[in-house]
Amino acid sequence: MDKLEKYSSTIQKILQEYAQFSQDKDIETELVFDTIRHHYQIVNVGWKNDNWIYGCILHLDIKNDKVWIQHNGTEMEIGEELVKQGVPKSDIVIGFHSPFKRQFTEYAVN
């Protein structure tokens, strides 16, 4: 399995496991996997009382052979989960941090 396939499979596994913990029966938790362009998301959709609920919970991309964490609306340390699954920190970019701030993390700058 090449690096791109491995990272794609790893991301999908982590997101599928996380999505199983959805506890609100009124809100649908959707897994959105674009395996051609390598965008992966968990999105909540539905009605709660009279309020429309829609929001991205997690968003990861694979760009230039690196996993980019674009959004993390959870308490889970998604970077650490990726590392546990064999993705080196040098191949993980915290995309929601500015390029300047990334240099102070344990992860890749870009």
pLDDT at 26 over 90: no
> Residue 1 has what pLDDT?
75
Average pLDDT over residues 88-100: 97
Q: Would you state the CATH architecture of domain 3-102?
A: 2-Layer Sandwich (3.30)
Burial readout 59-91 (b: 16 or more C-beta within 10 A, e: otherwise): bbbbeeebbbbbbbeeeeebbebbbeeebeeeb
The secondary structure of residue 105, as a DSSP letter, is S
**In whole angstroms, what separates CA 81 from the centre of its chain?**
10
> Residue 22 has what pLDDT?
76
- Reported confidence tier of residue 24, pLDDT bands at 50, 70, 90: confident
Percent of all residues in the chain with a pLDDT value above 70, rounded to a whole number: 100
pLDDT in tens, 43-86: 999 999 999 999 999 999 999 999 999 999 999 999 999 999 99
Provide the residue ranges of all domains of the chain, joining segments of one domain with +: 3-102
pLDDT at 25 over 90: no
